[in-house]
Chains A and B, each alone.
Chain A
Amino acid sequence: MSKGVVWKANLTALLLSASVISAEADGVKIGYIDPLSGPFGSTGDAGLKHFRYAANEINAAGGMGGMQVEVIGFDNKLNPKESLVQLQKAIDQGVRFVVQGNGSSAANALTDAIAKHNKRNPGEEVLFLNYAAVDPALTNKKCNYWHFRFDAHVDMKMAGLTDWLQNQKDIKTAYILAQDYSFGRAFTDAAKSMITEKRPDMKIVGAELHPIGRVKDFTPYVQKMMSAKADVVLTGNWGTDMTLLVKAANASGHQVPYLTFYGGGLGAPTAMGQSAVGLVKQITEFHENIEASDEQMARVDDFEEVNNLDYYYERVFTLMNMLDKAIDGVGSVDVPKIAATLEGMTYETPYGEVTMRADDHQLIQPLYISTFSEGVERDVENTGFGFETDIAIPAAATELPTTCKMRRPS
């Protein structure tokens, strides 16, 4: 053996042992796989800031099971294929907990890949904690033991919105606009079937899917809604697609209620302004004007001061604290045990008790329908406007049956 080969072999051994040590020793690594560049980059960045803030809070209180938490960002460019590349990168860096939310198409790819990885690598399981991908299939047809969802899915939110519609007898026509991918299609299907069921007298005058992140001017779409004489618009748009839609609706003076999932999302309130007051509604687990303890309000204020960003994802804190609770209980990063602990876990959030339903790993939490209003106590994005609760839906009322047949590892 020549000298060079020995040297190289030693170096490889050294590097290998170093990577093994780093994977074992530095506590809980959470891989955040979401868009961190491109049209949806700012949305992904906002989510990452919530996770980092929650991690700092937990670390200050002693970490998860005594271990420090680190959140590492991976840019998937909102692309399912790129998500898998980033997943592999994350696993190689010792990440055992993957969090993702933007884009159900990416979530669908991740849940499959993680199930496969866990089957092939017993002892190195990875947990998928989903904070925002709301395609119902993820906890129904495609449910998977290693996936836990902390956001209410499309059908649950749509049930809330259509319940509201049921009492608005002067609304006679509806227009549905969503992004053209798994989530948008699920949104459109849910809207169509629930409106037909709850308001058989109502007419759906248009249902449109537009390419995600590619439309820069929504004016033609808004004008189409206006000429279709829609009394209400239901939209699942988020990120820039939401911002640009309200911008165009604003410019064209489209004065009808907009029922949204993400009307309060980053950037949208700034684009809405005065003309959206009383019209844009959202269904969420959080907005700033829900009654809560002083402690929670102090956290919201501190978050906004530190990050110069609106507090938006309460569910990120729910996710991190439930994971904290599970790891504290288990005492180590034993992923199968942690998953078993999370199943059926209840947790007291500042806005009420939530349960991780064991049947399908869907979090059951209280939801709120709120309207963009003037003269509220706490505003959003320094606009002077904020959201005000119309209806608070208790957790139990949001529950829907699941078709999931969970296969648990033996």
Chain B
Amino acid sequence: METVVFALLNGLIYGLLLFMLSSGLTLIFSMMGVLNFAHASFYMLGAYFAFTLGQHTGFWFALFLAPICVGAAGACVERWGLRKVHARGHVAELLFTFGLAYVIEELVKIIWGKFAVAYEIPPELNFSLFKLFGSQYPAYRIFMLVVSIAMLAGLWYLLKRTRIGLIIQASLTHPNMVAHLGHNVPRIFMLVFAAGCALAGLAGVIGGNYLVTEPSMAFSIGPIVFVVVVVGGMGSLEGAFIASLLIGFLQTFAISIDSSFAEIFSFAGLSADGDVGRITIASLAPMLPFILLVLMLMLRPRGLMGEREF
């Protein structure tokens, strides 16, 4: 019972963090038709900006300032980088974002050093909120949960209930029509790109001190974010949401399962001493998202909620 409750809570928080990252990525994908390889790098920038800003302004200001700075960086990348490359087609865009991811990583290494920085949870939130089955539950995790849900609600309201959301949705599917109606479509694209990056930045601000802030953080989370977007269906926010939670739960649950292949497949005569029988479900946890990715592409290439085929 307690295992289930903890796995649910931790999986939910990890899943929401993944959604914060993948929502921006999937929006940018619907807009440009290209996966932004540098997306996780904006997540990393968010964490580093919050670390540096936090030293001067404290965590709470950094919580707002850092995503804005990341969004501004994203806007610059779109305005002076991607927009020029866009004319040369998807492959050029893909290569551009791919290169950008490396450039950002190297820049981070030059500015902040090769090692993890001491980006810590703010002392106001560094206490345990409640006790559950004899184990303390840190307040910061609940704070992450609150921030993620607030962001989720805000994003949903913006896209579904406001005029600007209407125009964004329209320009994702019918850019020419929207342009004919007198809207500046390139500027909308820039805004969406910036907003997507800012969301990734926000994920970095609250995820950087919960996990670790280091130059390899972008490359360690990047592949999982792609899995979320593909499994959820390219360009689908709802799909990304479901896939994020699915992967969050899958990974945390897997860690808590101790059975090995030998126990599960004992009917097939698998022995516990063999190389295969020794493998436990828990040790497979880091691999599970990628197994899901492969299966999804084989069985349902457009993902859970996607409309486009790959």
Contacts and interface: CB of A to CB of B under 8 A. Distances in A.
Interface of B is mostly: mixed
Given A42-B115, A208-B282, A224 B216 contact: no
B255 interface: yes
11 contacts: A38-B216, A39-B216, A180-B283, A215-B286, A219-B6, A220-B255, A220-B256, A224-B256, A251-B136, A252-B137, A253-B131
A211 interface: yes
Interface stretch (B25-33, B93-101, B148-156, B206-214): B206-214
A397 interface: no
A41 B217 CA distance: 13
Contacts of B216: 38-39
Closest 6 CB pairs of A and B: A253-B136, A216-B211, A42-B115, A220-B255, A251-B138, A37-B114
Interface string A251-282: 11110000000000000000000000000000
Given A45-B115, A253-B135, A220 B10 contact: yes
A174 to B, nearest CB: 15
A244 B3 CA distance: 21
B252 interface: yes
Nearest to B14: A217
Interface of B: 2-3, 6-7, 10, 14, 109, 114-116, 128, 131, 133-138, 210-212, 214-216, 220, 252, 255-256, 258, 282-283, 286
B116 A240 contact: yes
Interface string A207-219: 0111100111101
A223 interface: yes
A209 B258 CA distance: 11
Given A36-B114, A223-B256, A224-B3, A254 B211 contact: no
Given A208-B282, A240-B212, A226 B14 contact: no
A210 B116 CA distance: 21
A394 B297 CA distance: 61
Given A220-B7, A222-B135, A224-B255, 6 more contacts: A42-B115, A215-B286, A220-B255, A220-B256, A226-B135, A227-B2
Contact of B6 (A210, A220, A251): A220
A350 interface: no
Interface residues of A, number: 31
Most-contacted residue by chain A among B14, B134, B136, B255 (CB, 10 A): B255
Given A42-B116, A223-B135, A226-B135, A206 B258 contact: yes
Nearest to B1: A227
Interface string A360-386: 000000000000000000000000000
Nearest to A36: B114
A217 B114 contact: no
Contacts of B256: 220, 223-224
A133 B68 CA distance: 45
A226 B3 CA distance: 10
A206 B2 CA distance: 17
Given A217-B210, A244-B212, A253 B10 contact: no
B117 to A, nearest CB: 10
Contacts of B3: 223-224, 227
A251 B109 CA distance: 29
A303 interface: no
B128 A251 contact: yes
A221 interface: yes
Contacts of A252: 135-138
A342 to B, nearest CB: 33
Nearest to B252: A220
B220 A214 contact: yes
Contacts of A217: 10, 14, 210-211
A217 B285 CA distance: 13
Contacts of A38: 114, 214, 216
A329 B189 CA distance: 73
A247 to B, nearest CB: 9
A215 B285 CA distance: 10
B212 A216 contact: yes
A222 B286 CA distance: 17
A251 B211 CA distance: 13
Contacts of B115: 41-42, 45
A12 B137 CA distance: 67
